[in-house]
Structure 1
Amino acid sequence: MASYARTSEDFRQKDGHGVRHQLRINERTAREYGCRVVATYTDNGCSASKRGAARPGFDLLVEDLGRGDTVDGQVLDGVVCVADDRLYRRADDLTRFFTALTSHPDRIYVDPHGVRDPYSQEGLLQAVRSLDVAVMETRVRSQRLMNWHWARAVEGVPHSGPRPFGWLENRITLHPVEAPLVQKAIADRVSGKSVRAIAREWCDLKVTGTRGGRPNPQTVTQIMTAPRVCGYRANRGELLLVPETRQPVLGQWEPIVAPDQWHAVCATFSAGNLYMHRGTGAPRRTAGKAAPRQLGSGILRCGAKRDDGTVCHGALCAQKGRSRKSPYVYSCRDCRRCSISGPLADEALERLLFSEAAGPAQPSAAMRDRWHAGEVGLEEKRKILAAALTGCVVQPGVKGRQAWDHSRVRPSWR
């Protein structure tokens, strides 16, 4: 019999005591009903209610149940667990578990309340009822947690989580080094200085974030435009207001700048870059991904060889270039060994598409005329390329060679 244990979090003691206790209870339960545990599966600090959460122990359990035995040949004739919600809190996990459990005959499911027949209608209904209870409990706990955070926020209590840049660990007192940096950065930005220059200046001063990372333009923007810098309190991407006066809720911490300075620095950015849009808990304004802005994005692949002799095949991403001839380039972020001029690569793709090598995939003459006349938009061009090509491998360039070499782009036709 397989024994499964799971805990949602283990951030205090971090010793796995929760899953150990569950496994001991499972051993006792198995003995009470004449069963023997031959394999254990655990997920310590893993959520079962969040979509896409990794649960390697549960995945291995389902895999072994479907096969019928463990990797070392121990036959699995059932599962023992302290409660249903340790195994599943989502309908898809319930389906996966019961499909694997009943893939072989004569298996049982055991918990402290007794032995359950997973093949019977009553056994399945009991599992569904347990799922309904788990889903409702998850919703109630989530709403309770949201209300708790909101109540703390309207009282001006500082944010939980990592220490915010500019304040000490108590999240109330200003940091003697970081706070003046933020104040100066806001003044410089309002005066017209670029965020990239501010981030570079912080890097030159050996400044690191509260988690040890190097400053970059995005994090500097978030720090400067966070409402906390002027003492305002936000919650889940919204600025909290006092119901009676409709004035912003003031936090219990020391502000770095005055509210008018915060409004001034926020006005220098587009709405999508502000902390209230990009910060923790802020709702995204769009559920979709940003549309590609270059022709070869998602089509070009890296042809550089790794140290072990294999080809990288990483996606080449469009980045800003450093010359007028190549205002953008495609570079591999995986191995960083391959880069090609953006206009060169796009021109090579067009040549290949309208060449005889394209064969049946070659567009019609009318489409060629529309393409060269500028009547075909980027999205339509990308669809035409995707219909003709499965991808293009870009070979690394030769250092010192100035002439454009279109043969570096090697297509794979559909």
Structure 2
Amino acid sequence: MSYARTSEDVRQRDGHGVRYQVRICERIAREHGCAVIASYSDNGCSASRPSVVRPAFERLLADLTRGRTESGQRIGGVVCVADDRLYRRAEDLARFHAALTSALGRIQLDARGVRNPYTHEGLLQAVRSLDDAVTETRNRSRRVADWHWGRAVEGVPHSGPRPFGWQEDRIRLLTTEARLVEQAINDRIEGKAVWAIAREWCDLGVTGTRGGRPSAQTVTQIITAPRVCGYRANRGDLLLDPATELPVLGQWDPIVTPQLWRAACATFAPGSLYLHRGTGAPRRGGSRSAPRYLATGLLRCGALRPDGTVCRGAVCASKGRSLRSPYAYSCRSCRRCSISGPLVDEALERLLFGEHGATRGVSSAERRRWQSGQMGLEEKRKTLASLLVHCVVRPGVKGDRSWDFSRVEPVWR
């Protein structure tokens, strides 16, 4: 079995990177007297982000655990060009190692040769590779962040798709769109609702730079972006000149004056404004709101996808439908798994304060403070995070209203 992965494929978008890796894997296998019986490839998938699901990697783990490929051939090992193609997080290393060693006699191949995953040295080599991958990821993230900051302080326009209101060079205004933005800012200052502005744009047949129909959120992002008055932002913050403490001016033509931009921004409540393109951009109000529920960010979906792989998507809190369950946790990826919020919270307490939890560093004093209500939500979440990597939530049985605490399966640190 071979595994290939690339983090990005934004230029040619033809999967050439993973194709080249598959060829290299076949060559490595031949050099060691082996043959590749199945290839697994994830094109344009990051291995360092917990939120990214790699379908081929999940199929690889499932087949390793089963011991055979989908065509029924017995698996003798895994070949890849380098360990960082397989994993860049400790959790993925643990899952891969457990699946690979679930049967005896398997090997792992890469450009450096054969590795015995059952020996202490083989495991140490994998851990060292993981440490190198994590270090490289951090260094690369820092280099990219520094590169963007350097461009920002010089007033260079944002990269990516052109912003609404400017031509492809991101310098000169696109007259038709710029007039719409200027009118929207003036209308907003006079009290007009954003949704009404968005509806007017839709009636005029206006589309965004990516072809989508304008929404209230889109209009908000456009008219509150510092670029409309010539200011430069970086990572969601208005960039100030270190010498003068004044906003950095961009190299592009502004649509409105800074006074009009600030007046438009003042019509929104703090925390509701986006400073740059993208729904994931940080908000103008500063830090994100604190989690309101105990298990937020700690749950992963254990439902099976149609292809037989485990979803492992984030299970997030939402409003419930009954007095017994005023809130629930549901998977936003496959939408095949949902569980009562109070059931999860009680299950977590049982895990912490049962006979197993007592052996994992939860003191009697912490237990008393938790159960007496003296411990706040944030401290409870920190306690959970120090003991748990996450919890896998198994799907329930349709129509069964009983509380099955075993549906919450912990992955301990």
**Alignment TM-score, normalising by the size of structure 1:** 0.69
1:52 Cα deviation (Å)?
2.1
What is the 5 A alignment of 1:124-139? 124-139=123-138
For 1:122, the equivalent position in structure 2 comes to: 121
Are 2:274 and 2:281, in contact at CA under 8 Å, matched by a contact in 1?
no
Letter in 1 for 2:282: A
For 2:393, the equivalent position in structure 1 comes to: none
For 2:48, the equivalent position in structure 1 comes to: 49
For 1:354, the equivalent position in structure 2 comes to: none
- Alpha-carbon deviations, 1:312-340, whole Å to 9, x = none? xxx9xxxxxxxxxxxxxxxxxx9xxxxxx
SS class of match (2:214): coil
1:282 Cα deviation (Å)?
1.6
Match of 1:298 among 320, 324, 331: 320
Are 1:231 and 1:254, in contact at CA under 8 Å, matched by a contact in 2?
yes
What is the 5 A alignment of 1:191-340? 191-276=190-275, 281-282=281-282, 284-288=287-291, 297-299=319-321
1:237 Cα deviation (Å)?
1.3
Letter in 2 for 1:209: G
Structure 1 residues 44 and 220: CA distance shift in structure 2, 3 A: same
Are 1:202 and 1:215, in contact at CA under 8 Å, matched by a contact in 2?
yes
What is the 5 A alignment of 1:301-380? none
For 2:173, the equivalent position in structure 1 comes to: 174
For 1:396, the equivalent position in structure 2 comes to: none
Aligned-CA RMSD value: 2.5
1:281 Cα deviation (Å)?
3.6
For 1:320, the equivalent position in structure 2 comes to: none
For 1:155, the equivalent position in structure 2 comes to: 154
For 2:397, the equivalent position in structure 1 comes to: none
- State how far apart, in whole Å, the 1-side matches of 2:319 and 2:21 are: 49
- Greater gyration radius: 1
What is the 5 A alignment of 1:6-25? 6-25=5-24
SS class of match (1:79): strand
SS class of match (2:191): coil
Are 2:162 and 2:168, in contact at CA under 8 Å, matched by a contact in 1?
yes
For 2:28, the equivalent position in structure 1 comes to: 29
Letter in 2 for 1:186: I
Are 1:65 and 1:101, in contact at CA under 8 Å, matched by a contact in 2?
yes
SS class of match (1:272): coil
Pairing 1:94–2:93 present: yes
1:280 Cα deviation (Å)?
5.1
For 1:74, the equivalent position in structure 2 comes to: 73
1:289 Cα deviation (Å)?
6.1
Are 1:8 and 1:45, in contact at CA under 8 Å, matched by a contact in 2?
yes
1:287 Cα deviation (Å)?
4.2
Letter in 2 for 1:286: S
For 1:142, the equivalent position in structure 2 comes to: 141
- State how far apart, in whole Å, the 2-side matches of 1:93 and 1:231 are: 44
Structure 1 residues 290 and 225: CA distance shift in structure 2, 3 A: farther
Are 1:233 and 1:251, in contact at CA under 8 Å, matched by a contact in 2?
yes
1:271 Cα deviation (Å)?
1.2
Letter in 1 for 2:289: T
- Alpha-carbon deviations, 1:200-236, whole Å to 9, x = none? 2212211111122222222111111110000000011
SS class of match (2:2): strand
For 1:4, the equivalent position in structure 2 comes to: 3
Are 1:237 and 1:280, in contact at CA under 8 Å, matched by a contact in 2?
no
- State how far apart, in whole Å, the 2-side matches of 1:58 and 1:280 are: 26
Are 1:167 and 1:174, in contact at CA under 8 Å, matched by a contact in 2?
yes
Are 1:235 and 1:281, in contact at CA under 8 Å, matched by a contact in 2?
no
Identity %: 65
**Alignment TM-score, normalising by the size of structure 2:** 0.69
Q: How many residues align?
A: 303
SS class of match (2:129): helix
For 2:297, the equivalent position in structure 1 comes to: none
Letter in 2 for 1:298: G
1:413 Cα deviation (Å)?
8.5
1:272 Cα deviation (Å)?
1.7
- Alpha-carbon deviations, 1:242-280, whole Å to 9, x = none? 111111000011000000001111111111221239865
For 1:107, the equivalent position in structure 2 comes to: 106
Structure 1 residues 274 and 52: CA distance shift in structure 2, 3 A: closer
Structure 1 residues 171 and 287: CA distance shift in structure 2, 3 A: farther
